[in-house]
Chains A and B, each alone.
Chain A
Amino acid sequence: MNKIHVNCAVNGDATEFLCDPGATLLDVLRDTLGLTGSKEGCGSGDCGACTVVLDGEMVCSCLVLAPEAEGRSVATIEGVAEGSVLHPVQQKFLEHAALQCGFCTPGFIVAAKNLLDRNPDPTETEVRYWLAGNLCRCTGYDKIVRAVLAAAAELRQERTPACTRPRQ
């Protein structure tokens, strides 16, 4: 089987790889590019552990064929922190103990950040529906939802100058 040559951007860096035509983006991220933060929980779109952002939209990388990434930009959990500075979503996950085994955490963080990038003030219901495609078998979800709402509050503070901040 001939390999396919793909050019794309991963976390902002121009990247090229060779893949089997039927390989998934998750296979390539983990096995070819060594970005093992994205997890394979199910391989069928049900668990969200493999969530990445493709051209601004979050998707299950287990249900994207790697050749589809040609010319597109992929953002993974590895690009969420800036150097050693954690993103507020990551920081709040730690503070709120929103993880136990941690297998689901990269997917939740990528998904939650994608929500907050577009809506810095989601309701709890919006958070719960947005994260419905991410399964966690440990935490019971509540701490995750609290962490995301706390991160949202922190991001609003960072973005709004103190004098113009609306009353909470």
Chain B
Amino acid sequence: MPSPAFHAPDTVEGAIALLAADPLARPLGGGTDLIVQVRSGRVTPSSIVDLKRIGGLSGVRRDGEAFVIGAATPCTSLKDDAQFSAAWPGVVEAANLIGSVQVRNRATMAGNLCNASPAADSVPALVAAGATCVIAGPAGRREVPVEAVPVAPGRTSLAAGEFVIEIRLPAGRRSGSDAYLRSIPRTEMDIAVVGTAANLEFDGEGTCTSARIALGAVAPTVVLVEAAGAALIRTRLDDAALDAMAEAVRAACDPIDDKRGTISYRKAMAGVLARRAVRIAAERAGVKA
């Protein structure tokens, strides 16, 4: 295997130039997908562009009404930001289900997103949260919802020379919360058979005013199930609303059949986990469901 060239630019512009100059270049975040893929020969980049030396790309910061997570921020350091963890516990728990401590000390959410696995754990939580990402490239910067990035297993909508520089989530006062649950055959270090994320807002009476439900590992990409969210809005999460939500979730599933889970198992589990995730998000928001 020929060794790819290695670059560690210290500016966004430097990285864009390197990526744009070489169609077979790949950005490197934590490398927990990319290095495995290069070593196994599944991808053969001619150069690797490490993003971790770029100033401002690591860490969580506040920018007015948004939390900004630099693309090179490892998942474990999300937990160190108390404000972010309090505002988005579901995103933080999803990112910290990835692999082991060793893996999470390197793995980034941007890498999880751009690897475009349907089973990526942090992505359903980001989609439910309404997160966006800022993409930098030769034509300048653009901001898109995170769900616009993965288009098929292993494929993204990023153009040549483009990469994600940051992920943004709302930071305003919240009257709601979020949660992420996944089903795996063991308790750590496994790939989700189903993943469900719920992000809910409530009014003072405990009526749901906004709901976003997203699923992982049950379709070629992570999916936002708008009908599932709609089933909860203007309800107090009574059984009928939860049943309708779970029904919409099952209807949105288009899973694969493999040794880790059959189609009918994945569908049924998606409904079960979505109910539990909704209940946890409501409890975190101080609402009894």
Q: Name A residues whose Cβ lies closer than 8 Å to a Cβ of B.
A: 1, 4, 20-24, 43-46, 48, 51, 54, 57-60, 62-65, 67-68, 70, 111, 129-130, 132-134
Whether B31 and A132, one on each chain, are in contact in the complex, defined by CB atoms closer than 8 angstroms, is no
Cβ-neighbour of B101 out of A54, A65, A130 (below 8 A): A130
Does B223 count as interface, using CB distance less than 8 angstroms?
no
Q: Residues of B within 8 Å of A, CB-based: how many?
A: 31
A21-B3, A70-B8 known; A45+B48 contact, CB < 8 A: no
Whether B4 and A22, one on each chain, are in contact in the complex, defined by CB atoms closer than 8 angstroms, is yes
Whether B31 and A57, one on each chain, are in contact in the complex, defined by CB atoms closer than 8 angstroms, is no
Q: List 19 A-B contacts (CB under 8 A).
A: A21-B4, A21-B6, A22-B6, A44-B40, A45-B102, A45-B103, A54-B105, A58-B102, A60-B103, A63-B31, A64-B35, A65-B31, A65-B35, A65-B48, A68-B8, A130-B101, A132-B101, A132-B188, A133-B99
- Tell me the bound Cα distance from A111 to B102 in angstroms: 9
Cβ-neighbour of A51 out of B32, B35, B36, B102 (below 8 A): B102
Cβ-neighbour of B52 out of A46, A68, A129 (below 8 A): A68
A1-B3, A22-B4, A132-B189 known; A45+B32 contact, CB < 8 A: yes
- Tell me the bound Cα distance from A57 to B8 in angstroms: 20
Whether A22 and B31, one on each chain, are in contact in the complex, defined by CB atoms closer than 8 angstroms, is no
Whether A65 and B6, one on each chain, are in contact in the complex, defined by CB atoms closer than 8 angstroms, is yes
Q: Name B residues whose Cβ lies closer than 8 Å to a Cβ of A.
A: 1-6, 8, 28, 30-32, 35-36, 38-40, 48, 50, 52, 74, 76, 99-103, 105-106, 187-189
A45-B99, A68-B52, A111-B102 known; A22+B3 contact, CB < 8 A: yes
Measured between C-beta atoms, what is the minimum distance from B49 to chain A in Å?
12
* Chain B: CB-nearest residue to A4: B6
Measured between C-beta atoms, what is the minimum distance from A66 to chain B in Å?
9
Given contacts A65-B6, A133-B100, 5 further A-B contacts (CB under 8 A): A21-B5, A22-B48, A57-B76, A59-B106, A60-B106
Measured between C-beta atoms, what is the minimum distance from B197 to chain A in Å?
21
* Chain A: CB-nearest residue to B186: A132
Return the 5 tightest CB-CB contacts between A and B, nearest first: A133-B100, A22-B3, A21-B6, A132-B188, A57-B105
Measured between C-beta atoms, what is the minimum distance from A8 to chain B in Å?
13
A21-B3, A22-B1 known; A111+B32 contact, CB < 8 A: no
Whether B1 and A59, one on each chain, are in contact in the complex, defined by CB atoms closer than 8 angstroms, is no
Q: For B50, list chain A residues within 8 Å (CB).
A: 65, 67-68
Measured between C-beta atoms, what is the minimum distance from B205 to chain A in Å?
38
* Chain A: CB-nearest residue to B30: A63
Find the residue from B1, B52, B100 having the highest chain A CB count within 10 A: B100
Q: For B32, list chain A residues within 8 Å (CB).
A: 45, 63
Q: For B76, list chain A residues within 8 Å (CB).
A: 57
- Tell me the bound Cα distance from A89 to B58 in angstroms: 33
Cβ-neighbour of A65 out of B28, B36, B102 (below 8 A): B28
Q: For A58, list chain B residues within 8 Å (CB).
A: 101-102, 105
Q: For B101, list chain A residues within 8 Å (CB).
A: 58, 111, 130, 132-133
- Tell me the bound Cα distance from A62 to B35 in angstroms: 9
A65-B48, A67-B8 known; A24+B35 contact, CB < 8 A: yes
Cβ-neighbour of B100 out of A20, A57, A132 (below 8 A): A132
Q: For A133, list chain B residues within 8 Å (CB).
A: 99-103, 188-189
- Tell me the bound Cα distance from A68 to B29 in angstroms: 11
Whether B3 and A23, one on each chain, are in contact in the complex, defined by CB atoms closer than 8 angstroms, is yes
Measured between C-beta atoms, what is the minimum distance from A3 to chain B in Å?
10
- Tell me the bound Cα distance from A6 to B187 in angstroms: 39
Cβ-neighbour of A63 out of B5, B8, B35 (below 8 A): B35
Measured between C-beta atoms, what is the minimum distance from B54 to chain A in Å?
13
